[in-house]
Chains A and B, each alone.
Chain A
């Protein structure tokens, strides 16, 4: 006779209410797992989608994703001249926020060499890749743009020619690909009024008494204005026989840049920009699991205390301790398994409503289940101790 199941059947309503309550807590634990995985996935997404053999960035910088890096765009010619390099392409990326189609949208622009260069979008879900040098874009589906939409960015309108769904910026924002010159223009170029004002300010500063004369200033002014021919990195594709570390060393030595492989970029992100939030989320997951175990422990303790007289009767009529332990333990495990199942169903049916990616994996689900079961064993200790301590004499005497 399974006493645990009989007791649960007798208290169905209470049991169901409890597993729904604890199940919601497990749903939060599982969602945190998914948020954690999603956070890392999104954090590394742009690196993995771009995936060149080498990333060339500003000297001593961990860029372009983990740290800001700025280098001139023409250096890809010099990089291509290094032995072992098959191709090098400039790469720029930055976040923007614009009012588009009546809505405020945040996204990250990636500028790349659209004529055979590296760093463009991989698999498109609709439309085509960028074919023209200007005013075309390929956008992430999350932005809800449609093919043919014209999107105003900076001084010009850009036509959406392709859509994709793979790849976000490290902060989870959707990517938008445009040609490199367009990306530089959107980032650096000001409208005419602002350019005139800036020139005027510069002229006044430089022609102050004791400085330069106006003719000299006019001569050097173009050199002092913002340089728009800058990028964040150059992407490198190596020849099949090339040794990445060897090529990286040559680029670093000859061109005075820092060079990373894609794996090193991933490591930089994991140990840098993503490290603290990862630890934060991990700690939060642990706290939630502990809270779940404490709650189950208290529920099991309450369940045990409610039937303490029945336990005393059982002990009085000679029930062995292992039967009592089994009763408490089985209820604890059933409650945990039931709650976990409720949590699992809830989160697997709701995770897509979360604003950022929630990436649920069978591995995390399974590990959480076994941790929860181990927690249930710990949780039942309080109830078991109470049950074992119960004096059979409690069964005698009145209410």
Chain B
């Protein structure tokens, strides 16, 4: 069963002569534990698509069904959307974007606190994830004291902290060298398989997407071609 079903998604910025069609007729289907890559040149609409999936940008038209619920065009408020994001979606960014004044451990505890998980249970989850990402020894460090690769692994741990059904990753290897980038992508693949979490990642680098289930090539806001494995 598909965890995410996008049909006829369209996003237009501006109106009239100034209107820009950032996304046109996007159709994507993704099951739990599957890995999807969005490829394409700059300005092709990859990040806009991520923003529309997480409803940070409201689509102009189309349907998004996530985890059995129609999340777009059903009258949800901003509060509902924030709840959806904190409970079911994990984000990994181009740069780690860890909260600089929280330690590594606290960065992983924070998303759990947002959904009401605190105390020993949250601590154990943080420990487990940091161990999994091989950064447990850095638990009490501030992010600024970690290498770029370590920070990005902590960011992945944070994205997983709330046991999301979907991880949206926006060029997670862009700020890393090839070796560290490969390591982060390998972790994302491992997570998808072991935790049955669907992953959508935006990337420029085709070397990073080996073993992905679906690859969508975007150009000028349209899916130019799709590769399924």
Interface flag for A396 (CB, 8 Å): yes
Are B83 and A1 within 8 A (Cβ)?
no
Partner of B94, one of A10, A317, A392, A398: A398
Q: How distant is the Cα of A316 from the Cα of B90 in the complex, in angstroms? A: 9
Complex: how many Å from CA A309 to CA B85? Answer: 18
Cα(A1)–Cα(B110), bound, Å: 8
Is B142 on the interface with A (CB-CB < 8 A)?
yes
Name the segment of B4-12, B24-32, B101-109 touching the other chain.
Answer: B101-109
Give the number of chain A interface residues (Cβ < 8 Å): 27
- Is A320 located at the chain interface by the 8 A CB criterion? yes
Number of inter-chain CB pairs below 8 Å: 82
What residues of B have a CB within 8 angstroms of the CB of A317 in the complex?
85-86, 90-91, 110-111, 114, 158
* Closest-CB distance, B10 to chain A (whole angstroms): 18
A313 x B82 contact (CB < 8 A)? no
Shortest A74–chain B CB gap in Å is 82
A392 and B56: CB pair below 8 A? yes
**Contact yes or no, A319 B51, CB < 8 A:** no
Alpha-carbon distance A385/B79, docked complex (angstroms): 18
- Per-residue CB contact flags for chain A residues 223-250 toward chain B (1 = under 8 Å, else 0) read 0000000000000000000000000000
Assembly CA distance A10 to B101 (angstroms): 5
A310–B144 CA distance with the chains assembled, in angstroms:
14
With beta carbons under 8 angstroms apart, the residue of A7, A320, A393 that contacts B51 is A393
The answer, among B54, B82, B109, B175, for a CB contact under 8 Å with A398, is: B175
Contact, CB under 8 Å: B47 / A318: no
Asked whether any CB of chain A lies closer than 8 Å to the CB of B211, the reply is: no
> In this assembly, does A399 line the interface, its C-beta being within 8 Å of a C-beta of chain B?
yes
Residues of B within 8 A of A3 (CB): 99, 101-102
Judging by beta carbons under 8 Å apart, are A10 and B142 in contact? yes
The answer to whether residues A10 and B82 also contact, given A316-B56, A393-B56 and a CB cut-off of 8 A, is no
Confirm or deny: B50 has a beta carbon within 8 angstroms of a beta carbon on chain A.
Answer: yes
Is the pair A320, B175 in contact by a Cβ cutoff of 8 Å? no
Judge whether A222 is part of the interface by a CB distance below 8 angstroms: no
Q: Do B99 and A313 have beta carbons less than 8 Å apart?
A: yes
Task: Indicate whether A320 sits within 8 Å of B82 (C-beta atoms), given known contacts A10-B142, A395-B91, A395-B97.
Answer: yes
Select which of B94, B101, B106 is within 8 A of A11 by beta carbon. Answer: B101
Q: Is the Cβ of B91 less than 8 Å from the Cβ of A316?
A: yes
B93 within 8 A of A: yes
Interface of A is mostly: helix
Contact A314 B82 (CB under 8 A): no
Q: Is B170 in the interface zone, CB < 8 Å from A?
A: yes
A11's nearest neighbour on chain B, judged by CB, is B101
In contact, B99 and A310 (Cβ under 8 angstroms)? yes
B159 → chain A, closest Cβ, in Å? 8
Q: Does B196 contact A (CB under 8 A)?
A: no
State in angstroms the CA–CA spacing of A84 and B97 once bound together: 87
Shortest A11–chain B CB gap in Å is: 7
Q: Which residue of A lies closest to B110 (CB)?
A: A1
Task: Note all chain A residues with C-beta closer than 8 A to B84.
Answer: 318
* A319, closest chain B residue (CB): B114
- A1-B113, A392-B56 are known contacts. Are A397 and B47 too (CB-CB below 8 A)? yes
Contacts of A318 in B (CB 8 A): 82-87, 89, 111, 114
- B65 at interface by CB-CB < 8 Å: no
Please give, as numbers and ranges, the residues of chain A lying within 8 Å of B174 by CB-CB distance: 398
Q: How far does the Cβ of A291 sit from chain B's closest Cβ, in whole Å?
A: 29
B57 at the interface (CB under 8 A from A): yes
Instruction: Say whether A314 contacts B56, CB under 8 Å.
Output: no
Interface centre among A1, A10, A11, A318 (most CB of B within 10 A): A318
Query: Which B residue's beta carbon lies closest to that of A391?
Result: B56
The reply on A140 being an interface residue by CB < 8 A is no
A129 close to chain B: CB less than 8 A:
no
In the bound complex, residues from chain A placing their C-beta under 8 Å from that of B90 are: 317
For residue B70, CB closer than 8 A to chain A, the reply is: no
CB within 8 A of A319: which of B50, B82, B93?
B82
Contact status A310-B100, CB under 8 Å: yes
With a cutoff of 8 Å between Cβ atoms, the chain B residues found around residue A320 in the complex are 79, 82, 114
In whole Å, how far is A3's beta carbon from the nearest beta carbon of chain B?
8
List 9 other contacts, CB 8 Å, given A1-B110, A315-B82, A323-B114. A3-B101, A7-B101, A10-B100, A317-B91, A317-B158, A318-B83, A318-B111, A393-B51, A395-B93
Task: Point out residues on B near A: beta carbons under 8 Å.
Answer: 47, 50-51, 54, 56-57, 79, 82-87, 89-91, 93-95, 97, 99-102, 106, 109-111, 113-114, 142, 158, 170-171, 174-175
- 20 A-B interface contacts by CB (under 8 A): A1-B106, A3-B99, A3-B102, A10-B100, A10-B101, A313-B93, A316-B54, A316-B56, A317-B90, A317-B158, A318-B82, A318-B87, A320-B82, A320-B114, A323-B114, A391-B56, A395-B91, A396-B51, A398-B94, A398-B95
